[in-house]
A = this chain, B = another copy of it.
Amino acid sequence: MTASAKAQFRLRIYRDASVAIGPGKVDLLEAIAQTGSISAAARQLGMSYRRAWVLVDEMNRSLVSPAVSTAAGGVQGGGTALTPLGETLVRHYRAVEEAARTAAAADIAVLQGLLAP
């Protein structure tokens, strides 16, 4: 096993052929929660505002209710934040990763041990 043998889990939940919930969208939700703005979140992730907006719009449409709420008004367009559903989504997505990593730790260690030093 090498020190650089990093194991990465990715969960994607598909709705028909498209990814409704996946790592990129969850990273974006977390960045929006941190920064309070779609444009600041986009900058933080190195993506265009347009791209971030499209991802948020896709998520809001594919869920039972929106994950991100934007309050109208104010010079900068008001506050942008996660809804309770958005917070639930992020929390359970990260819980999936953590549970998976813990449950699979022994097998992952075996795989890492197969790598040449």
Which residues of A come within 8 Å of B, CB atoms?
2, 4-16, 20-21, 61-64, 85, 88-89, 92-93, 95-96, 99-104, 107-108, 110-117
A18 CB to closest chain B CB (Å) equals 10
6 A-B pairs, CB-CB below 8 angstroms? Answer: A7-B11, A20-B115, A63-B114, A92-B111, A96-B107, A96-B111
In the complex the two chains form, is A2's CB within 8 Å of B15's CB? yes
Complex formed: what's the CA distance from A113 to B103 in Å?
A: 23
In the complex the two chains form, is B11's CB within 8 Å of A8's CB? yes
In the complex the two chains form, is A4's CB within 8 Å of B14's CB? yes
- What residues of chain B lie closer than 8 Å to A12, measured between beta carbons? 7-8, 10
Given contact pairs A10-B11, A21-B111, enumerate 19 new A-B contacts (beta carbons under 8 Å): A5-B13, A5-B14, A6-B13, A6-B14, A7-B11, A8-B11, A8-B12, A8-B13, A8-B14, A9-B10, A9-B11, A11-B104, A13-B112, A63-B115, A63-B116, A64-B113, A89-B111, A92-B107, A96-B111
